Amino acid sequence: MEISAIKGFKDILPRETALWQWVEAEARGVFNAFGFKEIRTPLLEKTELFSRSIGQDTDIVSKEMYTLTDSKGEGITLRPEATSSVVRAYIQNRLYQDNPVQKLYSIGPMFRHERPQKGRFRQFHQINAELFGDPGPASDADIIIMIMHLFNVLGLNDVVLNINSLGCPVCRTVFRDKLRAFLSERSGRLCEDCRRRAEYNPLRVFDCKVESCKEIVSDAPSILDFICDDCARHFSLLREYLDNSGIRYVINHRLVRGLDYYSRTTFEIQTDRLGAQNAVAGGGRYDGLIKQLEGPDYPAIGFGIGFERLVALIEDSIKKDYNRPEIFMAGLGADAEKKVFGWVTELRRSGISAEMEYGSKGLKAQMKKADRIGAKRALIVGEDELVSGKGILRDMDTKDQKEIGLDNLVQGIINIIKNGTGHRE
């Protein structure tokens, strides 16, 4: 029987990888400009790392982790997110020693045993950035400006930035009690999960998708009315930075995020183009986490972008082909085929994507292939062209044709590609 991939795990196929590579290259370019350096952490970590950082009561830790026991009986887990691992690496490698302020990014797969659906997978990919050692609010603004700039570079200007403040542990406790009281008066109309959540983690009720719960929380008190003066000042300065930088945002006091480590600034980038999975990216401040994992008491902020969702948005908005060979060379007859083989090899060695047919094929079949692979141009060379020393160069978009000298052909083609002469890119 044919073996298929595990449910919720998917191949990223050759027709998709060009777009993935382009997104990754643009992300690396933006991170570089903002002074972020790459870090690569293992996919497997001790289970305890995630339960202590993300929170025992969260959906991720309580039901979505891929956990196994190694031969020594230790629990190990495929990472469901990157932040915990990057914090562990910051502590373990004493990355704070020379300078506590460290700006790190990482790109790679994450694993969550969720119910697969459109935009939701069990293995998915994230682009993460984490900024350690600064309490903000300038660094909060910096990280938000950076992510919005990346979306802009990727041509995604219709996404909506939601921001909120979750306060600090002190003022959040006051709000939590208030919310718990509000929910307990209405517990009869809450779903079963939320009745439980209302007790141990009432803020989580804001995330419930059940209609009756959504209705209840629409009247719930706002955390922004409860945060302390310091947290309020932090949030207002952040907004000032964002306003001055021309960043548009929506203040969403019900934005709570699904991980326990957040404090103060939280944000999410949402879209209405992906159905139920409307969050393309999420992040926020997690000032207590480094200390909680036995590191020094340094603050931090960061974000994670869902790669699959990002790619789906781009595919949906720009129909751009990222994978077009610069040229297809069609040789007709044994001599021309050999010549073509040599020219294609030389072009490829010069870094130009060039294609050809391996076996002998007629002109029609070769042009069909040039079309199918999306070649920008085609060179046609048969016996007559070899004699005259001039091949035919066809623009595959406009179908314009012109002659091109076969002496020094490779250099001639490189010049045409570099100058973009006579061809639409």
Q: How far is the CB of 150 from ligand HAM (least distance, A)?
A: 14
Among 58, 83, 85, 366, binds ligand HAM (CB under 6 A): 83
Segment near ligand HAM (CB under 6 A), from 17-25, 117-125, 146-154, 380-388?
A: 117-125
How far, in whole angstroms, is CA 136 from its chain's centroid? 24
**Cβ partners under 8 Å of residue 12, min gap 6:** 20
| Helix, strand, coil content of the chain in percent (nearest 5) | 40, 20, 35
Residue 299 binds ligand HAM (CB under 6 A): no
CB of 127 to ligand HAM, least distance (A): 9
Query: Which of residues 53, 58, 77, 126 is near ligand HAM by CB under 6 A?
Result: 126
3-state secondary structure labels for all residues of 347-368: HHHCCCCEEECCCCCCHHHHHH
Pick the closer one to ligand HAM by CB: 12 or 334. Answer: 12
Q: Give the nearest distance from C-beta 241 to ligand HAM in angstroms.
A: 19
Residue 90 engages ligand HAM in binding (rule: CB under 6 A):
no
Contact 386, 339 (CB under 8 A): yes
Q: Give me the residues paired with residue 44 across strands.
A: 78
Among 124, 235, 267, 298, binds ligand HAM (CB under 6 A): 124
Which residues are within 8 A (CB) of 368 and not within 5 positions of it... i.e. 6 or more apart?
A: none
- Crossing angle of helices 229-244/138-153, nearest 10°? 40
Q: Measured from the CB atom, is 122 or 377 closer to ligand HAM?
A: 122
For ligand HAM, which residue of 159, 179, 281, 336 counts as binding (CB under 6 A)? 281
∠ CA 273-277-283 to the nearest 5 degrees? 105
Q: Identify which range of 306-314, 323-331, 350-358, 415-423 contacts ligand HAM by CB under 6 A.
A: 306-314
What six digits make up the tokens of 194?
Answer: 């939320």
Q: Residue 133, interface with ligand HAM (CB under 6 A)? A: no
# chain residues binding ligand HAM, by CB under 6 A = 25
Please, are residues 88 and 104 in contact by the beta-carbon 8 Å criterion? Answer: no
The amino acid present at 229, given as its one-letter code, is D
According to DSSP, the residues that pair with 304 across neighbouring strands are 128, 282
Contact flag: residue 81 with ligand HAM (CB under 6 A)? yes
**Which of these segments, 122-130, 176-184, 238-246, 288-296, binds ligand HAM (CB under 6 A)?**
122-130
Of the candidates 88, 112, 234, 264, which one interacts with ligand HAM according to CB under 6 A?
Answer: 112
Q: What is the dihedral of CA 334, 339, 343, 345, to 10 degrees?
A: 60
Rounded Cα distance, 380 and 397, in Å:
16
**Residue labelled with tokens 């974000």:** 303
> By rule CB under 6 A, what string of x and - marks binding of each residue 216-255 to ligand HAM?
----------------------------------------
282 binds ligand HAM (CB under 6 A): yes
Among positions 52, 103, 120, 394, the unique one binding ligand HAM when judged by CB under 6 A: 120
Q: Which of 30, 34, 78, 130 binds ligand HAM (CB under 6 A)?
A: 130
Place of tokens 């103060």: 264
Write out the residues near ligand HAM by the rule CB under 6 A: 81-83, 112, 114, 120-121, 124, 126, 128, 130, 258-259, 279-284, 302-304, 306, 308-309
